[in-house]
Structure 1
Amino acid sequence: AFSLSLVRHQRLEPEAIWEIKTQTLKNSGLLTLHRGGNGFDSLGGLSSLKAFTRRALLRTDSDRSVRARGVMLLSPPGCGKSEFCKCLGTEVGRPVLTLDVGSLLGSLVGQSEERTREALRTIDAMAPCVLMIDEVEKAFSGASGSANDSGVSSRMMGTFLTWLNDHESDVFVVCTANDVKRLPPEFSRAERFDGVFFLDLPGRTQKDEIWRLYRNQFGIATDESTPEDDQWTGAEIKSCCRLAALLDVSLIEASKNVVPVAKTSSESIGRLRQWANGRCLSSDHSGLFRASSGSSSKRRRTRSDPSNN
């Protein structure tokens, strides 16, 4: 890296070192690296989660005796979990490593476990950094023993949990999940994560902020009418704005091509809300997440009303 920097720039440049690191990670096939990009200003809502993680990581930089461990994020699909991880790295000046557990699986006996240990050693060497494991319940789906994999998933899960509990490196772990019931209870116990947050569908204030962000990104006029966005996620708002720009149509016309996940998976989202009620921290305000009883009763009335059939 030093030789490359001297040849290209006649001096030592950090970018040359980062280029070598990025190539090394890519060649290993175990991890991917994300650097730079947008900060929290490009992400609507999640005010409590943003404040919690920013304060934890910036305090870690000033006080080495206390290290932040990470957070677990639960939510329906499309509520901004993955985008939050990337923005977090930019906000606190750390690279974001993404671990694809599927890439760790090998065909030879013991190969999967060795790849897991190698990936964790690489993550330790990259500290300080942010580690993202997306949809972790699918990554370790065979850990319960239901899958016929001779216990490989269980051993990989055990190795990861031991590292999560004992590692001394300055790695902030962000695990995301859409179905918490598929995770073993020991995964989210105290001292493995600093907090377990629930990211609900955005409210009116958060939606207005998200609409503003994506209008600016895709060059849509601020006075153009927005469609009915009840139960929409941030991903669906972005999709509507992108389609409007792509097809050169109005937002209302583009919305006809968007089917909210709250309609296609309403039952699973309802179960997830019920599980998170009183068990998880809210991502939008301080304290525990509390499911709205009014919205639940409204959904029940809608399903039982014969006029809606």
Structure 2
Amino acid sequence: MTNTLADLELLMKSRQGLIVLDTVEEDRVLTLLRLLADRLTLPLFLWSRTKGLRRDGNDNAVYGTADPAQALAHIGSSTVQALYYLSGAGPLLQDSGLAEHLRDVATQLSRQPGAIVLSGVALELPEGLRRLSATVKLPAPDAAEFRRLLQRILRDMKRDPSAVQLTTEEENRLLEGLRGLTLLEAEKVLTRAIVEDGRLTADDIAHVIRAKKEIVEREGVLEYYPAEEALGEVIGLAGLKDWLAKRTHIVRSPKKAAEFGLTFPRGLLLIGVPGCGKSLSARAVANEWGLPLLRMDPGALYNKYIGETEKNFRRACDVAERVAPCVLFIDEIEKAFAGNGSSEDGGVSQRVFGTFLTWLQERKAPVFTVATANDVQRLPPELLRKGRFDEVFFVDLPDEPTRREILALHLGRRNQDPARFDLPAVARATVDFSGAELEQVIVSALYSAFAAQQLLSTEMLLVEAARTRPLAQVMSEKIAALREWARERTVPAN
């Protein structure tokens, strides 16, 4: 918050009469403005619709100033050089009369030490006020602020510091996990966790995940996706797993990684044959790293009203950054931007794509983006440029040993003992089958066995395999072209 304070001090010294703080955290705004007023030796006045205009620390408001017009009139006529915080005034500015009045008062204040401060997220100011104002985005609380909050909670609850039963690494993970929550939200999460069993342990990180889920659901532009699959359930893909394993410690110990000169990984683009585990891998990454998994459906963000699609997309990116550290999953990304460059949608796809590329390149928040694609011909070439993603992997069809493992996994999930089956024979009979197609062979054979009131057998699996035409054979030319394209452009995931 130190940099923000310095920015505000500079704006005040530059005679900026109207300042907008982009945040929902009024408590932090008050703390910041009190520090600012103290630095500049200016009195701080607070206004709200319920209490009117009063000096900070004084409960007695100026008579009649609950009316915003009267409050502005008082500020305009006052000879006191001061800082004025108008809490909850943003929506009132849609009144053209009030907006003009505020503009006049802010212009007057710009000629002397003093300013009016508003706060809110993405406040829509009228044009005249927007030109006059300066907006400062208040950064989300960092780990240091959350650590101070935790210490205060323990002190207020009269709990011994030994109630925090966390290793240094676990405590850092917990505090980093709180990123994206307001201090008030974090206080509720930590207090509830301590009250439940009288202590704070690594298990309480789940409380943080739940709190972030509520944020995502409340915003409605991203889908909170349950990450239930473990990385061990992803059969094969040794190259991808090795790459992820080397970055696990960075995710779990970002502070140590930063001291070592490493930053949070940016993300992956997984290209390959449909049904080979790309989406499963994305979900497993979030589970392995203990991070929330958010799914972006770009199609759901498109809106028929001008400008709304771009706004939705920016909101989605903002939510991902607020919930960070997290994994952002975009399935079949080529479908989202297939219209890029086309004029059929009035250039919306092109603008959204440009916004997305800029965000991929410049974001600072620890958001690990995993995008999947099946059709490389529809992928905009700009997306493949280094810097957008850390790596581009090609996920190919499973080989025979991997097919055996996949068959054993899916049989076990359906209460079938894999040892009863001749899995090498089934694996040999399923050349060019994807993981999803192997699963479907088992499901279809189970239907047949249940209908015949028999135990599932190897023969039934072989019959279903023989009936199935895998996608790799139906679209052999396309798969061959995909492999050829990937040969020199991607890293093998298998």
TM-score bracket for this pair, using the shorter chain length: 0.7 to 0.9
CA contact (8 A) 1:96 1:131 kept: yes
Relative distance call for 1:247 and 1:6 in structure 2 (3 A) is: farther
Determine if the alignment matches structure 1 residue 141 to structure 2 residue 346. Answer: no
Relative distance call for 1:155 and 1:45 in structure 2 (3 A) is: same
Determine if the alignment matches structure 1 residue 126 to structure 2 residue 323. Answer: yes
CA contact (8 A) 2:227 2:293 kept: no
CA contact (8 A) 2:325 2:366 kept: yes
Query: What SS does the corresponding residue of 1:190 show, helix, strand or coil?
Result: coil
Residue 294 of structure 1: aligned partner = none
Q: Matches of residues 198-209 of structure 1 in structure 2 within 5 Å?
A: 198-209=394-405
Determine if the alignment matches structure 1 residue 229 to structure 2 residue 430. Answer: yes
CA contact (8 A) 2:209 2:292 kept: no
- Name the aligned partner's letter for residue 385 of structure 2: R
CA contact (8 A) 2:189 2:211 kept: no
Residue 25 of structure 1: aligned partner = 216
Deviation at 1:254, TM superposition (A): 3.5
2:379 to 179, 183, 192: 183
Deviation sequence 1:240-260 (CA, Å, 0-9, x none) = 222333443432243355331
- Name the aligned partner's letter for residue 224 of structure 2: L
| Whole-angstrom distance in 2 between the partners of 1:219 and 1:262 | 29
TM-score, length-normalised on structure 2?
0.54
Q: Which has the higher contact order (CA 8 A, sep 6+)?
A: 1
| Whole-angstrom distance in 2 between the partners of 1:94 and 1:21 | 10
1:197 to 393, 416, 419: 393
TM-score, length-normalised on structure 1?
0.84
Deviation at 1:213, TM superposition (A): 1.1
Deviation at 1:20, TM superposition (A): 4.7
Deviation at 1:122, TM superposition (A): 0.2
* Unmatched segments (≥5 aa) in structure 1: 285-309
| Whole-angstrom distance in 1 between the partners of 2:406 and 2:347 | 44
- Percent identity (aligned): 33
Determine if the alignment matches structure 1 residue 252 to structure 2 residue 462. Answer: yes
Relative distance call for 1:211 and 1:164 in structure 2 (3 A) is: same
| Whole-angstrom distance in 2 between the partners of 1:247 and 1:9 | 53
- Name the aligned partner's letter for residue 435 of structure 2: G
Query: What SS does the corresponding residue of 2:446 show, helix, strand or coil?
Result: helix
Determine if the alignment matches structure 1 residue 281 to structure 2 residue 491. Answer: yes
- Name the aligned partner's letter for residue 251 of structure 1: L
Residue 233 of structure 2: aligned partner = 42
Relative distance call for 1:262 and 1:27 in structure 2 (3 A) is: same
Deviation at 1:6, TM superposition (A): 7.5
* Unmatched segments (≥5 aa) in structure 2: 1-184, 198-203, 450-455
Deviation at 1:17, TM superposition (A): 5.2
| Whole-angstrom distance in 2 between the partners of 1:8 and 1:89 | 22
Residue 163 of structure 1: aligned partner = 359
Determine if the alignment matches structure 1 residue 115 to structure 2 residue 115. Answer: no
Deviation at 1:7, TM superposition (A): 8.6
CA contact (8 A) 1:219 1:245 kept: no
CA contact (8 A) 2:276 2:436 kept: yes
Query: What SS does the corresponding residue of 2:196 show, helix, strand or coil?
Result: coil
Query: What SS does the corresponding residue of 2:213 show, helix, strand or coil?
Result: helix
| Whole-angstrom distance in 2 between the partners of 1:46 and 1:233 | 13
CA contact (8 A) 1:75 1:178 kept: yes
Deviation at 1:26, TM superposition (A): 3.1
Relative distance call for 1:254 and 1:5 in structure 2 (3 A) is: farther
Single out whichever of 124-133 and 216-225 deviates more from structure 2.
Answer: 216-225
| Whole-angstrom distance in 1 between the partners of 2:474 and 2:214 | 40
Determine if the alignment matches structure 1 residue 67 to structure 2 residue 268. Answer: no
Q: Matches of residues 95-106 of structure 1 in structure 2 within 5 Å?
A: 95-106=292-303
Single out whichever of 79-88 and 37-46 deviates more from structure 2.
Answer: 37-46
Report the count of equivalent residues. Answer: 283
Query: What SS does the corresponding residue of 1:219 show, helix, strand or coil?
Result: coil
Query: What SS does the corresponding residue of 2:393 show, helix, strand or coil?
Result: strand
Greater radius of gyration (CA) = 2
Relative distance call for 1:16 and 1:70 in structure 2 (3 A) is: closer
1:242 to 430, 443, 446: 443
Deviation at 1:185, TM superposition (A): 1.5
| Whole-angstrom distance in 1 between the partners of 2:192 and 2:372 | 42
| Whole-angstrom distance in 1 between the partners of 2:383 and 2:414 | 40
Relative distance call for 1:4 and 1:247 in structure 2 (3 A) is: farther
Deviation sequence 1:18-65 (CA, Å, 0-9, x none) = 445324423533211234412111111001101102212422433134
| Whole-angstrom distance in 1 between the partners of 2:268 and 2:227 | 21
